[in-house]
Structure 1
Amino acid sequence: MERLKYIVEDSTIAELLGVQNFTNKESAILELVKNAYDAQANNVSITFSDRSIVIIDDGIGMSKSTICENWMHVGKSDKGYSLSGTEDNDGRVLAGSKGVGRFALARLGASVNVYSAKKGEIPVKWTTNWSESILDDLTNEENLPLGTRIEISALRDRWTEKSIKNLINYLSITCNDDRMQIKIYPNFGKGVSYIFKKPQIGKNFVTQIGLFYDASELKLYYTIKSDEFSNLAKNYCRSLDLQYFSNDVSILEELAGNTEIDSSDGELYSMLKELGNFSAELYFSLKTPTKQDVERFCYNYSALPDRYDEGVVLYRNAFSIASFDGEKDWLGLNQRSRKSPAAATHPTGAWRVRANQLSGKVEIDKKENYQLRDLANRQGLEENEYFKLFVKIITIGIAAFERYRQAIIRSIDKKNAPKPSPTTPMIDQILRGRNKEIHLTSNETKALAQEISVVKAESKSFQDEKESTEKKYRYDVRILNVLATTGLKASSIAHELKNDRNSVSVNYQYIVDALKEYGFWEDLCSQEYTEYSYKNVPQLLSRNKAINQKIVAFMDTMLDEIEKKKFSPRSLSVNSIMENIKANWMRDYASLLINLNVDESVYFETSEDIFTAIFDNLILNSWQQNKASSQIVINISIHKVGSLLKIVYEDSGVGLPPKYINDPMRILEVHESSRENGHGLGMWIVHNTIRMTGGDVISIDGHNGFHFNFELGEKL
Structure 2
Amino acid sequence: MEQLKYVIEDKTIAYLLGENNFTNDESAILELIKNAYDAGALNVHLVFSEGMLKIIDDGIGLNENDIRKLWMHVGKSEKKYDILDANNHQRVLAGSKGVGRFAMARIGGKISIYSKKENSEAIIWETDWNVSQIKKDIHNTTTGTTIIIEQLREKWGKSKINNLVDYLSRTYNDNAMKIFIEHSDYNGIVSSYLPKAELGINCLSYIRIKYDSINHILTTDIDSDEFENSAQQYCPGVNLNRQTIVTNIFNEFDGSKEYDLNDDELKSRLTDLGDFSGEFLFSVKPNRLEIEKFLYKHRGPQQTISGGVVLYRNAFSIALYEGKKDWLQFGKRSRISPAAASHPTGAWRVRENQIAGKVEIDKERNAVLLDLSNRQGLDENIYYELFVRIILTGIAEFERYRQGIIRLIDKKNKKESKVVETPVSDKIAKNPKAIPQLSEKETHQLIAEIKTFRQEQQVARQEKEDVEKQYKYDVQILNVLATVGLKASAIAHEMKNDRNIISGNIDSIITALKDYEMWEKLNSPECTDKAYKNVPDLLNKNKEKCIKILRFMNIMLSQIEKNQFNPQTYCVKSILDKINNTWKTDYAWVEIHLDVDANINYLISEDVFQVIFDNLILNSIQQNDRKDHLDIYVKVALDNNILHLSYSDNGKGLDKKYKDNPMKILEVHETTRQNGHGLGMWIVNNTIKMAKGEIKNIDGSDGFQVTFTIGGV
TM value normalised by structure 2: 0.96
Name which of 157, 160, 163 aligns with 2:157: 160
Match of 1:129 in 2: 128
Name which of 279, 282, 294 aligns with 1:281: 279
Q: 1:245 to 1:436 in 2, by over 3 A?
A: closer
Structure 1 position 431, deviation (Å) = 4.3
Q: 1:439 to 1:683 in 2, by over 3 A?
A: same
Distance (Å, rounded) in 2 between the aligned partners of 1:420 and 1:201: 34
Is structure 2 residue 311 aligned with structure 1 residue 325? no
Structure 1 position 90, deviation (Å) = 4.0
Q: What amino acid sits opposite 1:568 in the alignment?
A: N
Contact 1:596–1:637 under 8 Å retained in 2? yes
Farther-moved stretch of structure 1 (169-178 vs 423-432): 423-432
Match of 1:347 in 2: 344
Match of 1:374 in 2: 371
Structure 1 position 265, deviation (Å) = 2.4
The unaligned stretches of length 5 or more in structure 2 are none
Structure 1 position 552, deviation (Å) = 1.3
Structure 1 position 293, deviation (Å) = 2.3
Distance (Å, rounded) in 1 between the aligned partners of 2:673 and 2:435: 74
Farther-moved stretch of structure 1 (300-309 vs 593-602): 300-309
Is structure 2 residue 116 aligned with structure 1 residue 117? yes
Is structure 2 residue 394 aligned with structure 1 residue 394? no
Distance (Å, rounded) in 2 between the aligned partners of 1:677 and 1:189: 59
Match of 1:70 in 2: 70
Distance (Å, rounded) in 1 between the aligned partners of 2:206 and 2:433: 63
Contact 1:606–1:714 under 8 Å retained in 2? no
Q: What amino acid sits opposite 2:711 in the alignment?
A: G
Match of 1:409 in 2: 406
Name which of 257, 260, 263 aligns with 2:261: 263
Match of 1:252 in 2: 250
Taking the TM superposition and a 5 Å limit, the aligned residue runs for 1:355-366 are: 355-366=352-363
Contact 1:207–1:228 under 8 Å retained in 2? yes
Distance (Å, rounded) in 2 between the aligned partners of 1:436 and 1:280: 67
Q: What amino acid sits opposite 1:80 in the alignment?
A: K
Taking the TM superposition and a 5 Å limit, the aligned residue runs for 1:662-681 are: 662-681=660-679
Match of 2:100 in 1: 101
Q: 1:436 to 1:144 in 2, by over 3 A?
A: closer
Contact 1:258–1:676 under 8 Å retained in 2? yes
Q: What amino acid sits opposite 2:683 in the alignment?
A: I
Deviations 1:596-621 (A, max 9, x none): 11111111111111111111000000
Q: Match of 1:213, SS? A: strand
Match of 1:502 in 2: 500
Distance (Å, rounded) in 1 between the aligned partners of 2:548 and 2:2: 72
Match of 1:627 in 2: 625
Q: 1:189 to 1:149 in 2, by over 3 A?
A: closer
Distance (Å, rounded) in 1 between the aligned partners of 2:66 and 2:195: 35
Q: What amino acid sits opposite 2:382 in the alignment?
A: E
Distance (Å, rounded) in 2 between the aligned partners of 1:714 and 1:529: 65
Deviations 1:384-420 (A, max 9, x none): 1111110000000000000000011112222333634
Distance (Å, rounded) in 2 between the aligned partners of 1:578 and 1:198: 58
Is structure 2 residue 23 aligned with structure 1 residue 23? yes
Q: Match of 1:131, SS? A: coil
Structure 1 position 191, deviation (Å) = 2.4
The unaligned stretches of length 5 or more in structure 1 are none
Deviations 1:41-73 (A, max 9, x none): 111111001110001111111122221222112
Taking the TM superposition and a 5 Å limit, the aligned residue runs for 1:410-559 are: 410-417=407-414, 419-431=417-429, 439-559=437-557
Contact 2:172–2:192 under 8 Å retained in 1? yes
Structure 1 position 102, deviation (Å) = 0.5
Taking the TM superposition and a 5 Å limit, the aligned residue runs for 1:692-711 are: 692-711=690-709
Distance (Å, rounded) in 2 between the aligned partners of 1:689 and 1:304: 37
Structure 1 position 515, deviation (Å) = 2.5
Is structure 2 residue 288 aligned with structure 1 residue 291? yes
Contact 2:217–2:246 under 8 Å retained in 1? yes
Structure 1 position 195, deviation (Å) = 2.8
Name which of 659, 662, 675 aligns with 1:661: 659
Structure 1 position 638, deviation (Å) = 0.9
Farther-moved stretch of structure 1 (412-421 vs 310-319): 412-421
Contact 1:60–1:88 under 8 Å retained in 2? no
CA RMSD, Structure 1 to Structure 2 (Å): 1.9
Distance (Å, rounded) in 2 between the aligned partners of 1:121 and 1:149: 16
Match of 2:302 in 1: 305
Match of 2:381 in 1: 384
Structure 1 position 377, deviation (Å) = 1.3
Contact 1:604–1:714 under 8 Å retained in 2? no
Distance (Å, rounded) in 2 between the aligned partners of 1:348 and 1:39: 55
Farther-moved stretch of structure 1 (695-704 vs 196-205): 196-205
Distance (Å, rounded) in 2 between the aligned partners of 1:435 and 1:111: 88
Structure 1 position 459, deviation (Å) = 2.9
Q: Match of 1:83, SS? A: strand
Contact 1:40–1:88 under 8 Å retained in 2? no
Deviations 1:473-509 (A, max 9, x none): 1111111111111111010111111112122223223
Match of 1:315 in 2: 312
Identity %: 50
Distance (Å, rounded) in 1 between the aligned partners of 2:546 and 2:3: 71
Q: 1:613 to 1:384 in 2, by over 3 A?
A: same
Distance (Å, rounded) in 1 between the aligned partners of 2:560 and 2:594: 25
Match of 2:81 in 1: 81
Contact 1:18–1:107 under 8 Å retained in 2? yes
Distance (Å, rounded) in 2 between the aligned partners of 1:619 and 1:58: 72
Contact 2:182–2:188 under 8 Å retained in 1? no
Farther-moved stretch of structure 1 (44-53 vs 407-416): 407-416
Farther-moved stretch of structure 1 (376-385 vs 544-553): 544-553
Contact 1:40–1:59 under 8 Å retained in 2? yes
Farther-moved stretch of structure 1 (446-455 vs 645-654): 446-455
Structure 1 position 121, deviation (Å) = 1.9
Contact 1:598–1:637 under 8 Å retained in 2? yes
Contact 1:670–1:680 under 8 Å retained in 2? yes
TM value normalised by structure 1: 0.96
